[in-house]
Amino acid sequence: MSDSLLDVHIKHTLQTVHGKMPMEIALSLPKGRILAITGPSGAGKTTLLRQIAGLLTPETGKITFGNQVWLDSAAQGSVAPQLRNIGFVFQDYALFPHLTVEENLLFGLPKGSDRSIVDDLLNATELSNLAIRKPNQLSGGQQQRVALARALVRKPDLLLLDEPFAALDYDMRYHLQDMLLKFHRQHNLTMILVTHDIGEIFRLADQVAIIENGKIFRQGTPAEVYANEQSKTEDFVIFGEVLSCIKQADQLLVSALVENKVRQLTLPLNLAPEMIPGNTFTLHYPMDVARVTLIRH
């Protein structure tokens, strides 16, 4: 018996700017895990989320969730999207413009449910003071919090997020990532996140799958998939973002996003207070790696 909560085995034909492209995906996701999906535009990432949600039907395949069969093309069976208990956060937020913040959340609340969860989520997402505003009166970060709260109000078994923080500045993106991790820990959420942000993948995901040309090109933990390039000691100045930091003997082993590549840096122990995941940094190499100094922003 598989310990996977979600199993996806589908085949589909994607219509791309270069013509038709076969899509063939097989993946499994255990309960309570976060899977990040990344890859070039047009590879099939959003299509896959929509197929899992039941908003798009693949040509052939099977999707199971626990003991439920959500899709079985061989048996010509498919469970309607509203019966899959999925929370979906779209890239464009998809809020109802004529409804207030509170009304958007109430719309997502299943009939007969206790509405106190709406108040709880408004408080948790720091939206209580904005409850009577409409989406066009909110900033991008505020709209994204509404979209996230609306997806969570139905207490979903599975949360799907399609590049939810891509349009936000760094500080807001980090704040919402932190909020998402808090919800994940509190409710043991199972999530699939589409993102192009490698720092976001390292911060949020247990597993990452790179999709290219409609197929999973590589899959594993973020470290297994990305951390395969060594830093160059001849670099004079390094600008980066800390992904992870481990103390080992008398040094720090730091995984950092540098120029869109994951680098492994060996640094002095005195930099430990600065090498916190999510921190950005500038490292200056005067002569050699043993005398790295930090230039604070």
The pTM (predicted TM-score) of the whole model is 0.76
Enter the DSSP assignment of 110: P
Determine the pLDDT at residue 2: 53
Domains and CATH numbers, the chain: 4-225 (3.40.50.300), 230-294 (2.40.50)
Determine the pLDDT at residue 291: 38
The burial class, CB within 10 Å (0-12 / 13-18 / 19+), for 106 is middle
Determine the pLDDT at residue 297: 36
Determine the pLDDT at residue 292: 41
Other Cβ atoms less than 10 A from the Cβ of 156: the count is 19
CA distance linking residue 247 with residue 3, whole number of Å:
33
Determine the pLDDT at residue 197: 83
CA distance linking residue 239 with residue 251, whole number of Å:
20
The tokens describing 222, both together, are: 């973020």
CA distance linking residue 26 with residue 234, whole number of Å:
42
Strands of the 251-258 sheet, one edge to the other = 261-268, 251-258, 237-248, 280-284, 293-294
Determine the pLDDT at residue 86: 94
Residues of the chain with pLDDT under 70: 1-3, 227-238, 259-260, 284-297
